[in-house]
Amino acid sequence: MRKLLVFQHVPFEPLGTLDGQFRAAGFRLRYVNFARLTDPLPDVRRYNGLVVLGGPMSVGQTDRYPHLAVEIEAIRTALDANMPVLGICLGAQLLAVALGGRVFKNPVKEIGWYDVTPTPAGEVDPLFSSFAGTEKIFQWHGDTFSLPQGVVHLAESADCANQAFRFGDHAYGLQFHLEADEALIERWLETPVHVREIQGLAGAIHPHQIRADTRLYVERAQALSHELFGTFIQRFYNRSRRIALPSR
């Protein structure tokens, strides 16, 4: 049985719909929840792949969340071993830093449903082949990242240029949340840290609009999620040669 290691930063940001897809594909999942981690971090080399999830913290807050620096080194170990790696939101930012990129504030916070468009490289990428041009995708982030040397830029939005990238054949960073279904989005809208964040935006983001948009767009997003993540899971059975990391 193939084993997947999952880095989870807060209880309210799980694998979402990805959990069922991995289990249906025969994977055994091990979550490392950094909100209550007491045991040493497991050796990523004992697993067949790594998924790094989102969270409300910023990559640069290593003084408050020292595990972030540990995660970056673990991601580098996984990349150096040519393991499949998937980073979502904060996870994509950590993956970018592991590859030599930077994380910084995005000009605006993207919270809700936004147009995401594949780049020309994204249009021919296996994971993005199910996108019919621009698609409405759920987002919740205030930071963004620079593209590290050697990665392929896959998707963009009007307010955040770097929405997705690929390193080699097996490592993907996604700034958006295709793993979120309607129930998870509702949970996020009711989570105190998120409630305070929206309140701090002085009316720029409206939860009732997010709920209305979710009813409009979530069915299509879940179809995209099934196709995109299903293709990613195939990476576990299609390993290529070892890839040298760019200089850091």
Is 179 part of the annotated catalytic residue set? yes
pLDDT band at 234 (very low <50, low <70, confident <90, very high): confident
Interval 61-119: pLDDT, tens:
999 999 999 999 999 999 999 999 999 999 999 999 999 999 999 999 999 999 999 99
- Active-site annotation holder among 9, 13, 71, 89: 89
Phi, psi torsion values for 134, nearest 5 degrees:
-70, 135
* Per-domain boundaries in the chain: 2-237
Whether the Cβ atoms of residue 68 and residue 37 lie closer than 8 Å to each other: no
DSSP state of 203: T
**Residue 36's pLDDT is what?**
74
Architecture of domain 2-237: 3-Layer(aba) Sandwich (3.40)
How many CB atoms are located within 10 Å of the residue 241 CB? 7
CA–CA dist 4, 8 (Å, integer): 13
CA dist 228 and 106 (Å) reads 25
160 in active site: no
Residue that wins the pLDDT comparison between 203 and 144: 144
Mean pLDDT of 212-230: 97
Spatial distance between the Cα atoms of 141 and 35, rounded to a whole number of angstroms = 19
Cα within 13 Å of Cα(41), Cβ side: 20
CA–CA distance, 18 with 23 (Å, rounded to integer): 9
Q: Which helix (H) or strand (E) holds 87?
A: strand 85-88
pLDDT at 168 > cutoff 50: yes
pLDDT band for 239, please (50, 70, 90 cuts): low
Per annotation, catalytic residue among 9, 141, 170, 177: 177
